Structure 1
């Protein structure tokens, strides 16, 4: 018998599809240059080509934050443990203190 851990298959869920859409949308919107390669409508004298791209900077940040929050929710509902060293509350055994010179035990 082998002690090797069994590989688990990734499960496609509606939540993970929403995460993928949040991350792919900016790429599709900005790589399809023909959809926004024009001057009109101008916004405060700025051609559409420029303000459309700048708008996507903000939209991309919001979509990335949304994808991250959805990913956190997915990890909590899946019941998978956090990666090593990423727990929010470090226990007393791993906390660096002034008493031990700041060394991590």
Structure 2
């Protein structure tokens, strides 16, 4: 059984400008000058280690924002 044209879902488009935000968590960790140091320390951990965790939080945040804005634009 086919659905009437009025009930069909619109074609999905991935041309959301918010998708560009996903480049941030990819490009930022590729800049060695950000973590090429021992100081400052956080709870005794050198910069490199706790900054890796901060990059994960950055990636999760950017992905969440892009997902939420894409969901709102598609009308779900």
Tell me, yes or no, whether TM beats 0.5. yes
Task: Identify which range, 67-76 or 39-48, moves more after superposition.
Answer: 67-76
Q: CA offset at residue 11 of structure 1?
A: 9.0
Partner of 2:24: 25
Partner SS, residue 61 of structure 2: helix
Deviation per CA, 1:29-87: give whole Å up to 9, x if none.
111122211111111110111101111112211211111111111222xxxxx9xxxxx
Partner residue in 1 for 2:65: 66
Structure 1: 5+ residue stretches without partners: 1-9, 77-81, 83-105
Contact 1:19 1:70 in 2 (8 A): no
Residue in structure 2 matched with residue 38 of structure 1 by the alignment: 37
Q: Structure 2: any 5+ residue segments left out of the alignment?
A: 1-12
Give the alignment's TM-score, normalised by structure 2: 0.69
For this pair of structures, how many residues does the alignment match? 65
Deviating beyond 6 angstroms after TM superposition, the runs of 4 or more aligned structure 1 residues are: none
The structure with the largest helix share of the pair is 2
